[in-house]
Structure 1
Amino acid sequence: ISVNADLLARLPQAAKSKPMRHALEAVRRAVHGQARIIDDLLDMSRIRTGKLELNIEAVDLATLVGNVTDAARVDASTAGLDLVFQQPDEPVIVRTDAARVEQIVWNLVSNAVKFTPARGRIEVGVSTERGFGHLTVKDTGQGIDRHFVPRIFELFGQGPYHASGNKSGLGIGLTLVKQIVEHIGGHIQVESPGLGKGSTFSVWLPLFEYGATLTPPAAANADRKAGQWQDLRVLVADDAAEAVATLAQLLELDGAIVGVAHDGAEALAEFERGSFDIVFADLGMPNMDGYEFAMRLRALSAGNHVPLVAMTGFTRPSDVQRALKAGFDAHIGKPVTIGAMTSTMLSLTGRDRRPDGDAPVD
């Protein structure tokens, strides 16, 4: 659905039709929203069974929060809200799991957007406090009845409130946020003066204490400039024929030369017939899955150094490590977007180091 929406957005008719652009943006938001709900449900299950895996590292909290706030600004603007991020003067480096903190921030900001009426304001801030990185999400929304505050983090504990614009949810977001925060060694609290007076959610995460390499979170999508895919030879392998066809069309519109395959054996044969600059492959393909394809590709002299990217719904740290061990260079979680493919391609091929993404000249 996501890549089909991207394809429709590239058509000349979409550029000329404001209602069509708005409809396509609504489709994108719905797809991403449903994907997040599914991820939240899976994480709830992992936490309860003790299977939630963490990748603890030094994380620039302000950069991460700023990226998420920027991504949420479209939803806030559509809802008629003023969303502001208060950038700290100094970096706030915390010891945590970047992906989990991104999940926390997204849930809190999305919750503020959902329960704040039009013409309201949401303020997101990052600071340090008593050995912790401190995140705050403050809104001028519906607020919380003082009797319900102690229950706000309970499962399905939405309370007697109504989301703005019919943006209802399952009532698991705040429960998941609290459990993840505690799982990564932090704590969370909420304050509200009462109904109609807004609320403030505060999260504290342990500061990083030197000695590790900082890995700032990468932006989810790259700026798309003309020429980034121009003349790049790309192989896309996935058993979902319709999705592969759509991805191929999108890449070709951006100037790429695309080959397609629907299982690992077909992809291997396609690679041996041609010459490719980068390969994107699903992990769960029939006949020969992505892991076996990667190992066989790396055994070929021509495939030993070609950039190889996994596209999959398996996004746990153990899944990522298994893919890297099999020979993949990078890992993109589904639903795949052209922006995620572009940023990964630029990083692996070195095109991000060329002025304006120019293609190489022979």
Structure 2
Amino acid sequence: LSTAPVAAIAPTNRDFRAIEQRIGGLVGELDNAVWRAEQTTSDLFVAQQGMARKLLLLVLGGLILVALTIVLPTARRIRREHQFALEQNRESEQRYGTLVASLAEGVVLQLADGTIQACNASAERILGLSADQLMGRTSVDPRWRALRGDGSDFPGSEHPAMRVLRSGEPLANVTMGIRKPDGSLTWLAVNAQPLTRPAESAPYAVVTSFFDITEQRRIANELRYQKTLLECLSEAAPDGILVVSPDRRWLYVNERFAQMWHLSDAVLAAANSAVGLPAVLAMVQEPEQVRAGIEALYRTPDASGSAQLRTYDGRSFEYFSAPVRGGDGSNYGRVWFYRDITDREAVDRAKRDFVSMVSHELRTPLTSISGALSIVASGTVGAIPQRAQHMVDIAAKNSQRLIRLINDVLDSEKIGSEVMSFALQPVEVVPLVVQALEEQHAYAASLGVSMVFEPQLDQLWVEADSDRLLQVLTNLLSNALKFSPPGGLVRLALNAERGMARITVSDKGPGIPLEFQPRLFEKFAQADSSDRRRKGGTGLGLNITRAIVERLGGQISYATSSSGTSFFVDLPLVVAPPPARLRVVAMPQQVLICEDDPAIAELMQRIADNAGFRTTVVNSAAQLRHKVALQRFDCLLLDLNLPDGSGEALIAELRANQRTEQLPIVVVSARATAAQVQLPAVPGVLWIEKPFLADHLLSAVNQGTRPQILHVEDDADIVRITASVLSEVADLRASGSIAAARAMLRSTHLDAILLDLTLPDGSGYELLADIRVLANPPPVVVFSVEDQSAVLPEGVTALLVKSRTSNQQLLRIIADVLVMGRQPPGSLGNKPIKVFTGPRCISYPNNITACSL
């Protein structure tokens, strides 16, 4: 920045010359004085003239010498100080000039008339003008073409520099737009500072500094646009949106949120969770549970979460919350989205009701048709002519096809609504693959396609639902067979790698078209070619297969070419469970069937009778109540749609009745799955959808009637070991005292009791009196460390000594006791087991003898 010279603060060379001239003048004056003295002095001094002159000159010389001795050093010092001051001034000017020149901020000096006197390089760069172009220009020059922040014209007389020159007051942060010579617009933030002299009020100049804020203004405009857009989107969104700061202040609330929670102006004005959260919780059911979920998210700033809640006025909401993070990871708070799902739930209920109704109306007659055709085709009701046999086979085949179609649609619906249940347990893969191959054998033969199984390992175990995994295998095999040419080969391979079991199903078909591959696993997806249309199917099989595999914790993939396709199912391996030593299935003697459809009732009766059950059929709730009041049943097969009441209500009634509270119930209904979801968990109830397979029905009956053993034992280790030994034949319920065992006797149906004699609150024999008064006393096996007499106490079926009974012996004895316990009262099998004296041998029915060596 160029400025006028600074005034000298020390004597200059001119001062030294003045001193010299002054000394010279003094010498001249002395000479004149001497000359006048010579002319006017009397003759008295004539003689002494020479000496006086010399004396005077000597005095004057001394004076001059003294003057020079004093003045010259002072003059030299003054000159040195002056020179130093000049150098300091030059350095100061250089420093300040460098500082101003290096500023990114533009700086301009204007005189009192507004003329630009000086500027720095940044001013030239920002304004797009050279120093020569700027010098002499004033603010009123029309070439500036200045704009205000709102885009209106900015007259030169109103420029910050001119206003400061008029008022003498500084201005700051004035927004100004300047058109550069190239036509571009640069936005400036301008500051102006007046310069005044002492004792003068009017500025003699003004210094104007300015920044280029064009980019900041663009960013600010973009942010305003984004903010406006976001607010528009937020206000138009169907969700209620709330943004909360880390200190729980409400930063943003859209109109929808305020409406759905009926927030008052006072709550909105408070804008904090301390006021707003209680207002919200006052409207919801189970407010403490909702509060706990919200607080848990606040305690974990990085967590996201969602939940559903219901209000007292019957509305249902779901919310989702996530942290708000900046680009640098800074925590800006948390955003909450609330959505009213009341209408959606109503639609879902209507859809479920419709699917339930349709499935029931289709499955019920299909069950009768398919079951009857199977019985006729098997020859159970007598031989039929060959031509009729062919027609029956066609009808049976197509009824099964229709059943598969309905099952696919319903399975897809279950998966979509997440109501498909999975009973996960260790499953051996090889037997399941063999079963799937056997089930598809007839279909493969009808197509002229061969199947081969190539396992690399004999045993592979995965955690799965065996029925669902079988469904996956069946779908993949059926698909491979369907697209294989006659004479083709379908290969099924099994191997393990990297902790995963891989099931591979390969065919030699035409492959999957490239354009169809992205939709391969979608619902109802089928290739568009007419050849594949002729193959039939719903297009749901692969969609269901992928959903099941993912629910089992695995993944499905494929590889395809023009010469065939392979599907790969990968499931996590698990450790094989201990091998089963003995399997005993204690068949229930009496099965009660409650079904209002005569055809289905007859079908279930035939299946149960052929399996060795004794069946009784009723067709109404009233008849069922009458039967269970008179007779003990081991299992109930129950339809939910009865002419005189609902099956759900009947289940609750049976569970509330002491006589039937432990009765195993198998619900066989077209709406079994829907009812299972709607009802609370009911113990001892299994669910089967119509139409059903005979094997599934029998499996459910056997599972529902799995024996229950009360183990009265205070040693926890013995309890665990015994439960493991007997896990193949029964479920154990442990009780560590007589008091706890008495409570169990009153509330639980038991098939046998394993009794220790040494208990914390008395002898195990004290329980025998409680057992004898039961309506159906279960058999009692004493299992104790005490070596008891060979005489059996009343009510005891067998005596076992822990130290003399192996695990295998215990398993065989308990298995036989369970079979004996299911015999009708008074039969041979219900008599006490004999204990022989002498060697410690115990004899059991059915020619079983156990001896302790």
Give unmatched runs, 5+ long, in structure 2. Answer: 1-368, 581-586, 708-728, 730-814, 829-853
- 1:44-55 → structure 2 map (5 Å cutoff): 44-55=412-423
Whether the 8 Å CA contact 2:526–2:539 is kept in 1: the answer is yes
1:297-353 per-residue CA deviation (whole Å, 9 max, x = no partner) reads: 45556545554322123454982895972533x433321333433444456488x98
Whether the 8 Å CA contact 1:187–1:204 is kept in 2: the answer is yes
Structure 1's 95 and 144: CA in aligned 2 closer, same or farther, altered over 3 A? same
Shift of 1:168: 0.6
Structure 1's 315 and 32: CA in aligned 2 closer, same or farther, altered over 3 A? farther
Whether the 8 Å CA contact 1:123–1:139 is kept in 2: the answer is yes
Kindly indicate whether residue 640 of structure 2 is the aligned counterpart of residue 272 of structure 1.
no
Percent identity between the aligned chains? 26
Structure 1's 26 and 146: CA in aligned 2 closer, same or farther, altered over 3 A? same
- Corresponding residue number in structure 1 for 2:687: 331
- Please give the alpha-carbon distance, in whole angstroms, between the structure 1 residues aligned to 2:397 and 2:489: 21
Shift of 1:269: 1.4
Structure 1's 264 and 215: CA in aligned 2 closer, same or farther, altered over 3 A? farther
SS of structure 2 residue aligned to 1:202: strand
Give the counterpart letter for 2:689 in structure 1: G
Whether the 8 Å CA contact 1:264–1:285 is kept in 2: the answer is yes
| Residue 191 (structure 1) aligned to one of 551, 559, 580 | 559
Shift of 1:108: 1.0
SS of structure 1 residue aligned to 2:531: coil
Whether the 8 Å CA contact 2:663–2:684 is kept in 1: the answer is no
- Using the TM superposition, name which of 123-132 and 84-93 deviates more: 84-93
- Please give the alpha-carbon distance, in whole angstroms, between the structure 2 residues aligned to 1:204 and 1:151: 21
Give the root-mean-square deviation of aligned CA atoms: 3.9
- 1:94-243 → structure 2 map (5 Å cutoff): 94-159=462-527, 160=529, 162=531, 167-194=535-562, 197-208=563-574, 232-243=589-600
Kindly indicate whether residue 312 of structure 2 is the aligned counterpart of residue 312 of structure 1.
no
Whether the 8 Å CA contact 2:419–2:673 is kept in 1: the answer is no
Q: What TM-score, normalized to structure 1?
A: 0.75
- Using the TM superposition, name which of 12-21 and 315-324 deviates more: 315-324
Whether the 8 Å CA contact 2:676–2:687 is kept in 1: the answer is no
- Please give the alpha-carbon distance, in whole angstroms, between the structure 1 residues aligned to 2:416 and 2:606: 42
- Corresponding residue number in structure 2 for 1:219: none
- Please give the alpha-carbon distance, in whole angstroms, between the structure 1 residues aligned to 2:433 and 2:553: 18
Structure 1's 295 and 193: CA in aligned 2 closer, same or farther, altered over 3 A? same
- Please give the alpha-carbon distance, in whole angstroms, between the structure 2 residues aligned to 1:236 and 1:107: 33
- Please give the alpha-carbon distance, in whole angstroms, between the structure 2 residues aligned to 1:47 and 1:298: 30
Give the counterpart letter for 2:568 in structure 1: S
1:197-241 per-residue CA deviation (whole Å, 9 max, x = no partner) reads: 222111112233x5x96999xxxxxxxxxxx99xx5432112223
1:27-54 per-residue CA deviation (whole Å, 9 max, x = no partner) reads: 4443333333333323333444555554
Structure 1's 300 and 53: CA in aligned 2 closer, same or farther, altered over 3 A? closer
Whether the 8 Å CA contact 1:6–1:338 is kept in 2: the answer is no
Whether the 8 Å CA contact 1:62–1:88 is kept in 2: the answer is no
SS of structure 2 residue aligned to 1:110: helix
Structure 1's 346 and 98: CA in aligned 2 closer, same or farther, altered over 3 A? closer
Shift of 1:77: 1.9
- Using the TM superposition, name which of 304-313 and 250-259 deviates more: 250-259
Give the counterpart letter for 1:334 in structure 2: K
Structure 1's 215 and 49: CA in aligned 2 closer, same or farther, altered over 3 A? farther
- Please give the alpha-carbon distance, in whole angstroms, between the structure 2 residues aligned to 1:103 and 1:215: 25
SS of structure 1 residue aligned to 2:469: helix
- Corresponding residue number in structure 2 for 1:221: none
- Please give the alpha-carbon distance, in whole angstroms, between the structure 1 residues aligned to 2:401 and 2:621: 31
Shift of 1:89: 2.3
Structure 1's 22 and 275: CA in aligned 2 closer, same or farther, altered over 3 A? farther
Whether the 8 Å CA contact 1:87–1:125 is kept in 2: the answer is yes
- Please give the alpha-carbon distance, in whole angstroms, between the structure 2 residues aligned to 1:310 and 1:301: 20
1:159-178 per-residue CA deviation (whole Å, 9 max, x = no partner) reads: 226359x5511222223323
- Please give the alpha-carbon distance, in whole angstroms, between the structure 2 residues aligned to 1:129 and 1:309: 40
Give the counterpart letter for 1:245 in structure 2: E
- Corresponding residue number in structure 1 for 2:451: 83
- Corresponding residue number in structure 2 for 1:341: 697
Whether the 8 Å CA contact 1:133–1:206 is kept in 2: the answer is yes
Give unmatched runs, 5+ long, in structure 1. Answer: 217-227
- Please give the alpha-carbon distance, in whole angstroms, between the structure 2 residues aligned to 1:313 and 1:192: 38
- Using the TM superposition, name which of 261-270 and 145-154 deviates more: 145-154
Runs (4+) off by over 6 Å = 212-216
Shift of 1:10: 5.0
Whether the 8 Å CA contact 1:279–1:308 is kept in 2: the answer is yes
Give the counterpart letter for 2:629 in structure 1: E
Structure 1's 131 and 256: CA in aligned 2 closer, same or farther, altered over 3 A? closer
Shift of 1:137: 0.7
- Please give the alpha-carbon distance, in whole angstroms, between the structure 2 residues aligned to 1:12 and 1:135: 38
Whether the 8 Å CA contact 2:605–2:615 is kept in 1: the answer is yes
Give the counterpart letter for 1:279 in structure 2: L
Structure 1's 339 and 45: CA in aligned 2 closer, same or farther, altered over 3 A? closer
Whether the 8 Å CA contact 2:594–2:601 is kept in 1: the answer is yes
- Please give the alpha-carbon distance, in whole angstroms, between the structure 2 residues aligned to 1:326 and 1:301: 14
- Please give the alpha-carbon distance, in whole angstroms, between the structure 1 residues aligned to 2:649 and 2:460: 42
| Residue 259 (structure 1) aligned to one of 592, 616, 637 | 616
1:255-312 per-residue CA deviation (whole Å, 9 max, x = no partner) reads: 7654222233321213334454432112343534334434444555654555432212
- Corresponding residue number in structure 1 for 2:429: 61
Whether the 8 Å CA contact 1:114–1:167 is kept in 2: the answer is yes
Structure 1's 214 and 319: CA in aligned 2 closer, same or farther, altered over 3 A? farther
Whether the 8 Å CA contact 1:7–1:250 is kept in 2: the answer is no
- Please give the alpha-carbon distance, in whole angstroms, between the structure 2 residues aligned to 1:161 and 1:309: 45
Give the counterpart letter for 1:9 in structure 2: A
Aligned residues: 339
- Please give the alpha-carbon distance, in whole angstroms, between the structure 1 residues aligned to 2:666 and 2:568: 37
SS of structure 2 residue aligned to 1:162: helix
